[in-house]
Amino acid sequence: MAMIVAGIGTSHVPSIGAVVDSGRQNTPEWKPLFDAYEPVRTWLSDERKVDAVIVIYNDHACDFSFSKYPTFAVGAASEYAIADEGFGVRPLPPVKGDLDLSAHICRHLVYEEEFDITICKEMAVEHGLLVPMDLCFPQQGEWPVKVIPVQVNVLQHPIPTALRCFKLGAALRRAVESYDRDVNVAVMGTGGMSHQLHGERFGHLNSDFDNWFLDKIESDPQAICGMTHFDLMEQAGAEAVELIMWLTMRGAMTPDAQRIHRNYYAPMTTGMGLITMQDAA
**Which pLDDT band holds residue 67 (cuts at 50, 70, 90)?**
very high
Model-wide pTM > 0.85: yes
- Rounded Cα distance between 238 and 83, Å, is 25
* Active-site residue, selected from the candidate residues 12, 108, 127, 204: 127
Q: Which domain holds residue 176?
A: 3-278
Mean pLDDT to the nearest integer, 54-66: 96
For 33-45, write each residue's pLDDT tens digit: 999 999 999 999 9
Count of structural domains within the chain: 1
SS3 of the chain: helix, strand, coil, percent, to 5? 35, 20, 40
Strand partners, 118: 73
For 120-155, write each residue's pLDDT tens digit: 999 999 999 999 999 999 998 999 999 999 999 999
* Active-site residue, selected from the candidate residues 12, 60, 195, 204: 195
Is 195 marked active-site?
yes
| DSSP-derived secondary structure for 171-206 | HHHHHHHT--S--EEEEEEE--SS---SSTTTT---
Any idea what the CATH number is for the domain that residue 211 is in? 3.40.830.10
For 202-256, write each residue's pLDDT tens digit: 878 899 999 999 999 999 999 999 999 999 999 999 899 999 999 999 999 999 9
Please choose, from the candidates 177, 180, 170, 125, the residue with its C-alpha nearest in 3D space to the C-alpha of residue 149: 125
Please choose, from the candidates 59, 186, 66, the residue with its C-alpha nearest in 3D space to the C-alpha of residue 123: 59
Is 104 marked active-site?
no
For residue 94, say if its preceding peptide bond is cis, omega within 30 degrees of 0: no
